Structure 1
Amino acid sequence: MPVHLITGAGSGIGAAVARRLLDRGDQIVLLARDAGRAREIAGSFPGASTIVGDLAQPGRLSWALSKQALPDRIDSIVHAAGVVDLGPVADLPATLWERQLAVNLVGPAELTRLLLPLLRMQKGRVVFVNSGAGLHAHADWSAYAASKHGLKALADSLRAEEAEHGVRVTSIYPGRTATPMQERVHQQEGRDYDASRFITADSVATTILTALDLPDDAALTDLTIRPRG
């Protein structure tokens, strides 16, 4: 039975991926930032396992994982966690830069590093849920876009480095998706939120499962998905 480790499974795209994998009988391990959140997420996904590690504190991930029982195998990591805080460069304080870079970039890099031995054993897959902001930066999106541009670079480098070990790496670039994060973005932009205008989280999950399910002779490297119309 394949084992998938998923970040950001508390809502949005991560939750949609976790539900799809669990429903088809795969084993899922969900990363939570603290014990309380782990209990909350576990209650939403009966049968799932949880581990605790805060992506906002990448330097503590190694210590956190060393204190817990990890699965014997990991077939994939799906990096779906993320945070966003908008604002012009002139106004955005260092704390918000640091938080977005930690959760969106440095945390995923460190978590991947720590789990690479298990991934190599299975010739596993790493999926980074990036963003359209990882390809194009707009006004007020500097910190978030910088973190996502960095995530693309991380994925590209990791793909080249791990090819010899059979580890395949995919970047997914969703356009605006109907998630709680998108609702928060609209609040920051001062605009009304209409979920019907955007991609559903389940549609993005379908693209992620496609990357996970490709035969071993193929790899999906980069995929952009946009709202219709």
Structure 2
Amino acid sequence: MSVHFITGANSGIGAAVARLLAARGEDLWLLARDPGRAAALRAAFPGSHTLVADLAVPGDLAAVLELQGLPQQLDSLLHVAGVLEPGAVGQLGTGPWQEICAVNLLAPAELTRLLLPALRARRGHVVFLNSGAGLHAPPGLAAYAASKFALKALAESLRAEEYPHGVRVTSVYPGEVDTPMQAELHARLGIAYDPATCLTVDSVAEVVAGALDLSRDGTVSDLMLRPG
């Protein structure tokens, strides 16, 4: 049985990935922001291991998670959680920049550091759910895009560093996906939202699972998906 650690499993792509892996009978470790979300995960995924930690405070992750107990062996670490705050560079103060970079970049870096021994033990796989904005920065999303560009750099360095240990690293760059975050973004930007023009969360989850299932003779380093 494979063992997977997933962030962002309460909704959207993370929930779809967790559902797919749970349906295969695999062992899930799920990270929740607070006890209420942890309870919801336990109800949705009976038998899963749930941990509570706030990715917006990456400096606390080591103490908080090690107190709860981390897995000793992992087949994959799936960084799906993320936050987004729209705004032009001339509008956003340091607060949104700090939160976005904490959740989207610093927390994945710290969580990866903490779980590398478990990943090395199983020659595991790290997957970063990036974004099309991590390749082409659109106007009005500078902070989000900057965090995702930096996440790309983190993945590339990690891939080279962990190659001798047999740990594979994949970045996934979906375009617009039908998620609550996407709907909220359109509303805040005053743009009409049509879910039919988006990728589904299940399509993205299937791509993530496909990367995990690739035979050991290769690595899918980067995956770009676009709607339709």
Q: Provide TM-score, normalisation by structure 1.
A: 0.98
Give the C-alpha shift of residue 47 in structure 1.
Answer: 2.0
- Whether 2:156 is the aligned partner of 1:160: answer no
Structure 1 runs of 4+ off > 3 angstroms?
none
Give the C-alpha shift of residue 192 in structure 1.
Answer: 2.3
Distance between the aligned counterparts of 2:11 and 2:192, measured in 1?
A: 21
- Whether 2:209 is the aligned partner of 1:205: answer no
Decide whether the 8 Å contact of 2:72 with 2:117 is kept in 1. Answer: no
Match of 1:69 in 2: 69
Decide whether the 8 Å contact of 2:4 with 2:77 is kept in 1. Answer: yes
Match of 1:125 in 2: 125
Match of 2:115 in 1: 115
Map 1:44-193; keep pairs closer than 5 Å: 44-193=44-193
Give the C-alpha shift of residue 36 in structure 1.
Answer: 1.9
Decide whether the 8 Å contact of 2:128 with 2:155 is kept in 1. Answer: yes
Distance between the aligned counterparts of 2:71 and 2:117, measured in 1?
A: 12
How many residues were matched structurally? 228
* CA deviation string 1:61-83 (max 9, x = no partner): 00111211222321100100000
1:126 aligned partner, one-letter code: V
Give the C-alpha shift of residue 196 in structure 1.
Answer: 1.1
Match of 2:34 in 1: 34
Give me the CA root mean square deviation: 0.8
1:197 aligned partner, one-letter code: T
Unaligned runs of 5+ in 1: none
Give the C-alpha shift of residue 42 in structure 1.
Answer: 1.4
2:188 aligned partner, one-letter code: Q
Distance between the aligned counterparts of 2:35 and 2:66, measured in 1?
A: 15
Match of 2:20 in 1: 20
1:176 aligned partner, one-letter code: E
* CA deviation string 1:21-68 (max 9, x = no partner): 000111111001122211122111122111111110000000111211
Secondary structure of residue in 2 paired with 1:177: coil
- Once structures 1 and 2 are overlaid, which stretch shifts more, 27-36 or 77-86? 27-36
Distance between the aligned counterparts of 2:216 and 2:75, measured in 1?
A: 12
Distance between the aligned counterparts of 1:188 and 1:109, measured in 2?
A: 29
Secondary structure of residue in 1 paired with 2:68: coil
Q: Provide TM-score, normalisation by structure 2.
A: 0.98
Decide whether the 8 Å contact of 2:29 with 2:48 is kept in 1. Answer: yes
% identity of equivalent residues: 57
1:98 aligned partner, one-letter code: Q
